[in-house]
């Protein structure tokens, strides 16, 4: 990392710390992180404080021991909404450490705010199987007798 700008070097350190913590969701102490990453104690504490401040990780203190955990927040990647039958459906693509998901929500407007009435979560890698299942169900004889033509 000799020829890298200081800013890129710091970003790389924080990125590697974040990736390391995500692989250890039960949390790690400063000593455990330092032992595995070989980052100096002072540098490590600075970067951990920044990651806590940026809400990328969180810290719990148990007496003198600090334990750092990955933040399990959900990151929004994309969305689309459609109006259908006096309802609005939101299709959000989200990601966390467990993967990428399609979240389908039925929302209605109440007092100028959208209120979620129901939702389902589908892993993105299962979308094809999910839509194939919906297609098969929509064509089933059991369901067709309820559908008005």
pLDDT single digits (tens) 108-138: 888 888 888 899 999 999 999 999 999 998 8
Domains of the chain from N-terminus onward: 6-70 (1.10.10.10), 75-144 (3.10.450.700)
Q: Is the pLDDT of residue 148 over 70?
A: no
- What is the arithmetic mean of pLDDT over 38-53? 93
**pLDDT band (50, 70, 90) for residue 149:** low
State the chain's maximal CA–CA distance in angstroms: 71
User: What is the number of other CB atoms lying within 10 angstroms of the CB of residue 48?
Assistant: 22
> 68: buried, middle or exposed (CB in 10 Å: 19+, 13-18, 0-12)?
buried
Taking Cα atoms as reference points, which of 79, 74, 143 lies closest to residue 114? 79
State pTM to two decimals: 0.52
């Amino acid at each position: 990392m000799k020829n890298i700008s200081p800013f890129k070097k710091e970003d790389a350190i924080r990125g590697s710390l974040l990736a390391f913590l995500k692989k250890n969701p039960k949390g790690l102490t400063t000593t455990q992180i330092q032992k595995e990453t070989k980052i100096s104690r002072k540098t490590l504490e600075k970067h951990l404080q920044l990651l806590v401040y940026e809400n990328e990780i969180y810290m719990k203190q148990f007496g003198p021991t600090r334990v750092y955990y990955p933040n399990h927040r959900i990151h929004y990647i994309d969305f689309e909404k459609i109006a259908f039958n006096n309802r609005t459906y939101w299709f959000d693509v989200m990601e966390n450490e467990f993967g990428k998901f399609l979240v389908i929500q039925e929302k209605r407007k109440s007092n100028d705010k959208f209120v979620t009435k129901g939702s389902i979560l589908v892993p993105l890698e299962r979308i094809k199987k999910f839509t194939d299942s919906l297609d098969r169900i929509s064509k089933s004889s059991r369901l067709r007798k309820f559908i008005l033509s």
